[in-house]
Chains A and B, each alone.
Chain A
Amino acid sequence: MNFAPVWASRWLLLDSFLTTLFLSAIAIVVGTFVGTLVSVLRALNIGVLNVILRIYVEVFRGTPLLMQLFFVYFGLPMLGIEVDKFWAAFSAISLYTGAYVAEVLRAGVEAVPKGQVEAATALGLSFGQRLWYVVRPQALRVALPPLVGVYVAIIKDTSLATVIGYNELMRRAMELVLQYGRPLEVLLTVGCLYFIICFPISKFSEWIERRLARNGA
């Protein structure tokens, strides 16, 4: 093993690491916000809105992220809408993640027995209070494991942003491999860097799961 080329490229790798971290953060933070908003709006059960939200979820889950990135970055300008690299990555990744988060949360909400909401209604809780104090804690218990799965998957998927010119980790790895011909060392290093991002998320979710589990079986 010879890690000298990797070490020589440490600042480039750090730069790409931060890019991947940045794109992942957008996906998780904004995607979760979008997904939560969609599932709350869906819980309101307003006819037309429900149809629109369902179409959104189905379209963004049903097509590859790569295509969505292409569409926003190269397609929209053809329609006269200029989109720079950042906004293209931001919107495509957020909406893509949002659709998956929305679906996971919907399944969680549907797993909460109807009687729970009825009891809360009968006790006089408002719509928002029912959602926050009764539905959310119970839905999260169901949704958390698949939610973490969505996060980890999207962190890997951010590598697709390379097609619109982001020098994220995977792209940098390929460049270094081509340059130095040391695939094992480079990929090991990059693998570790991905792990550094994913690991805290798994740990955090385990912690939340334990906390939820303590609050009743």
Chain B
Amino acid sequence: MPLLTMTNVQKRFGSLSVLNGIDMSVEVGQVVAIIGPSGSGKSTLLRVINGLEPIQGGDIVVDGISMASGRGLHEIRKHVGMVFQQFNLFSHLTVGGNVMLAQKLVLGRGKADAEKRGRELLAKVGLEEKWDAYPSQLSGGQQQRVAIARALAMDPRIMLFDEATSALDPELVGEVLGVMRSLANSGMTMLVVTHEMNFAREVADRVLFMDQGRILADGTPDEVVAQPKDARVQQFMRRLTER
């Protein structure tokens, strides 16, 4: 059974239709890169999966839980981690506070357990010594790695990345991609909206190309990035390589 299934998902902002019947599913352990022009609905696709945006039609099922069911939204959120372009670390909390807050409040973990798990994950992203630092004392790359650790601390089944490296100085992109790469290698199921074609080619099992709220292409990196069949995708790739 797929870990994530979207059936005929519709999303509108007022009269603007942003997702036009999305059908797709993601298997456990798959790493899916999502590419496409700006405004095509990539962020919205991620945001409906953890319920940051309500949908107007269709259904989303994560790990057997339907978004449409009573506690669906709450349960799904617990299983889905999200990493944002702007990091969004809680600025009034230390790194430790950031990775522990939701563990304590949402999972009901005690302080000792939350700290243990938090330190484990910070070590994984190479920032264990920053436990007492505040976000403002960290570089963008470090903040994003903490944000990844914070999401992982909830033991999610799926991780969503929305242009996680787009706000970073070029020299800091590598450290974040490195963390994402090792996460992918560890078997995490990931949906990654990205402009990093190398990452899509090397790490993703599958690439989705979105345009105007639809999935125009869905295949291996080779099929979608290297030798696209669809004219729109070809055009997008040409523009990308011209830059």
Contacts and interface: CB of A to CB of B under 8 A. Distances in A.
Interface of A: 113, 115-116, 118-125, 129, 133-134, 137-138, 141, 212, 215-217
Nearest to B75: A124
B155 to A, nearest CB: 12
Contacts of B236: none
Q: What 3 A-B pairs have minimum CB-CB distances, sorted nearest first? A: A123-B102, A119-B88, A216-B134
A164 to B, nearest CB: 43
Contact of B91 (A116, A118, A122, A123): A116
Contacts of A121: 52, 77
A212 B91 CA distance: 11
B93 interface: yes
B106 A212 contact: no
B101 A123 contact: yes
Contacts of B81: 122
A115 B50 CA distance: 15
Interface of B: 50, 52, 74, 77-78, 80-82, 84, 86, 88-94, 101-102, 105-106, 134-137, 147, 150-151, 154
19 contacts: A116-B90, A118-B88, A119-B82, A119-B84, A119-B147, A121-B77, A122-B52, A122-B81, A122-B82, A123-B77, A124-B74, A124-B77, A125-B105, A129-B106, A215-B92, A216-B92, A216-B93, A216-B94, A217-B136
A115 B86 CA distance: 8
A139 to B, nearest CB: 10
Interface majority SS on B: helix, strand, loop or mixed?
mixed
Given A124-B78, A124-B154, A217-B136, A119 B106 contact: no
Contact of B90 (A119, A124, A141): A119
Contacts of B92: 137-138, 141, 212, 215-216
Given A124-B78, A138-B91, A115 B84 contact: yes
Contacts of B90: 116, 119-120, 134
A124 B106 contact: yes
A217 B92 CA distance: 8
A138 to B, nearest CB: 5
